[in-house]
Structure 1
């Protein structure tokens, strides 16, 4: 049977690491990804894939511990977001050299939202870095990307799982990976005591960084806004999925990780693999 896949990757911050497991499992089952589209972390993982850097990124992310994650979080508590993002975006630039999207090996699209002109922006050409940078600018978390005539933020507020923005090829299979699914997740899959301790230590250190009262008040505001945005993006995702009906929907629970839990990479990649295996098993015509 045909195994060409048009792959759509949702946003989800650290949960987006699960997309690595999805890609690995799809490849293992004989699928060839012929086009890719993503939002936020999905746009980043998609870019890493098309740049042939996914193994390198996987190795890097698996080596992260709590100190590495905190090192990249430069708090600002400004009016536009409580993280500057400069350290993260510098690392992003260092990770892969910029290139024009139209020169990539397969069609690629990243989605952002222009909150100045109230519209969706789809990057299918031009700078790959700028496209990813705009797509991952989560409202209330990172400062938006400003240009002469636009203010760009995470595309999740307009198109969190851009099933309708992927380039299709003849006889391909439309596959969507959604890492914010409202489904149960078993915490028993946490691998060992050392891993659990990393989570405890990270949360303790994170709270220490937010010890000032004024910062706590601002964080509570950002937290409320973030939760409200999460509800909006989830409903938009469900609407998109129901409207455009991907041939295969791979769902990873939103309970797998928090926003900055990048040190859970091993668990997240495994969760992505398991979600893919389940989706293929439930759809016998594609397995």
Structure 2
């Protein structure tokens, strides 16, 4: 993503204040469990193993590498719960794409173009080209008042791509995410109520798009009755959703932004990013306590808006998953039950017809 987009993000933060602190009361202690819509998480299906995927922008692509290692080791989750970029990666995997196909998709996409709503110059009128080359920001006024948009990008190109990739799965599943090859939940934040919602039905592409609506950068997305923004606002790593669904074992992957060292806090952008990261620390810490296995790839402070190093991101994800395999297998083994071949309800001992049954059973206890 180019610097003008990031610049606009922080200009708008200055103009209207920090929306995260204004719209959500972080001083009030609210557990994620209280914020999950019962309608969208009421479950009865069996869930032995859940895979929880986080956000992190470009950093979230590392989760493809994690999935590739888990898949090759024969570890298949019963359900995938994704938020933001984790909803993209997890949603496509749940839809039936193989890890190799996910890898290919991530490498083939022009992310800068996909995350921009500027039309290709080849289809623009000459006047549009002239305007586009002069300005990257247009400010509108009404009745002498500055109009602040709800978001810089409608992300229509992104929605189109997601719809293209998930159309077949949406049709086959009849818009029921429990009918996908792997069950799936896309976590959003309802901007109206502040609730975290785990979507389990609808158009798969739209459900994923709704989860990545980073406030101000992307316009909120209306889905069902929800005014959706990035699910990571309330659940950066939505382990609590898996707990709510009754999953016995939970593997969580955290690719959210890490705290930046002091000597690197030398730009306004980095200071603003650090502020958001700090606000998420307690939420992430509480989710970590709920996971059986926590995978956190070493992403070398990779910038969340840098989509130029896909190879390294995926390899870093693989490295972290390989290191976690012993813990994963140990966790799976702990939850396995010993198979009972034969059940003896009443012992029969030939030749002891004259003994009372109670005499025999009392000696066996």
- 1:145 is the counterpart of 2:221: yes
- 1:231 is the counterpart of 2:278: yes
- For residues 1-287 of structure 1, the aligned pairs below 5 Å read 5-54=49-98, 55-64=100-109, 68-72=110-114, 73-74=116-117, 79-97=149-167, 99=170, 100=175, 101-146=177-222, 149-166=225-242, 167-168=245-246, 172-180=248-256, 182=258, 226-242=273-289, 244=290, 246-253=291-298, 255-281=300-326, 285-286=330-331
Q: Which has the higher strand share?
A: 1
283 and 125 in structure 1: CA distance in 2 versus 1, 3 angstrom threshold: closer
TM-score w.r.t. length of structure 1: 0.74
Q: Does the 8 Å CA contact 1:180/1:254 hold for their aligned counterparts? A: no
Q: SS at the partner of 1:263?
A: coil
Instruction: Tell me the distance in 2 between the aligned counterparts of 1:7 and 1:132.
Output: 16
Superposed CA RMSD in Å reads: 2.9
Q: Does the 8 Å CA contact 2:221/2:227 hold for their aligned counterparts? A: yes
Instruction: Tell me the distance in 2 between the aligned counterparts of 1:253 and 1:79.
Output: 36
Instruction: Tell me the distance in 2 between the aligned counterparts of 1:79 and 1:233.
Output: 25
128 and 283 in structure 1: CA distance in 2 versus 1, 3 angstrom threshold: closer
Number of matched pairs: 242
Q: Does the 8 Å CA contact 2:117/2:153 hold for their aligned counterparts? A: yes
253 and 15 in structure 1: CA distance in 2 versus 1, 3 angstrom threshold: same
168 and 32 in structure 1: CA distance in 2 versus 1, 3 angstrom threshold: farther
Which has the higher relative contact order, 1 or 2, with Cα contacts under 8 A spaced 6 or more apart? 1
Q: SS at the partner of 1:179?
A: coil
Deviation at 1:149, TM superposition (A): 4.8
Larger radius of gyration: 2
Deviation at 1:241, TM superposition (A): 1.2
Deviation at 1:223, TM superposition (A): 7.1
Q: Does the 8 Å CA contact 1:21/1:273 hold for their aligned counterparts? A: yes
1:193-249 alpha-carbon deviations (Å, 9 max, x no partner): xxxxxxxxxxxxxxxxxxxxxxxxxxx6x876554333223331112212x1x1111
Q: Does the 8 Å CA contact 1:140/1:226 hold for their aligned counterparts? A: no
Name whichever of 27-36 and 54-63 sits farther off: 54-63
Q: Does the 8 Å CA contact 2:258/2:301 hold for their aligned counterparts? A: no
